[in-house]
Amino acid sequence: MQELADAGVELLQYRNKQDSDAEVLEEALAMREAAPAAMRLILNDRAMLLQQTRFDGVHVGQEDMTPAAVRSMAGAQCIVGVSTHSEEQLLQADAEPVDYIAIGPVFATGSKLNPDPVVGLEGVRLARRLTAKPLVAIGGITLENAASVREAGADSVAVISAVFSAGNSAAEQARAFLRRLR
């Protein structure tokens, strides 16, 4: 965690779809302990574990607890984000009490078993026109295409395999992304 922070990573989302709440809690607590105080941690989906993990926020998808319910439960200081995959979802998310909206998948992705249809760079451009909230591009973002996603209107990008692939230093990959996006 310190290596990622030293590389410039300020926000890290913990996403674990398969393990039990008890396992997620155990791993999240270890992450919180290892993370520098300045690094903000976001819990994917499991809003009910937020207080126990001492994470800074929750990211929900279309099938999870609503952003309004998360905000009500977690309070104003909590970071709340939501994934969207269409114009309709984006407009709905824009009316919700969220701190950021994720749009995607921008490109094909292997990190989900049943990914939503690709929205492409045009989907990012449309999302930027429809919301003034911070926009996070998700899905299939690589070092090679990250700049085009930013140019299309994303404020930031979310990456999994492009940073955490086998054989690569996650910190070095994160540094490369941050250099490319500046």
CA dihedral (130, 136, 138, 141) positive or negative: positive
Contact criterion met (CB below 8 Å) for 106 and 115: no
Output DSSP code: residue 178.
Answer: H
Q: Is 15 a catalytic residue?
A: yes
* Strand locations in the chain (E): 11-14, 40-44, 57-60, 79-84, 100-103, 135-137, 156-157
Catalytic residue among 32, 46, 71, 83: 83
Which residue in 15, 40, 128, 180 is the catalytic one?
15
- Catalytic, out of 40, 86, 112, 128: 112
CA–CA separation, 132 vs 134, rounded Å? 7
Specify whether 161 is catalytic: no
The sign of the torsion formed by the CA atoms of 166, 82, 181, 35 equals negative
40 is catalytic: no
Rg (CA), the chain: 16
Q: Where in the sequence numbering do the catalytic residues fall? A: 15, 83, 112
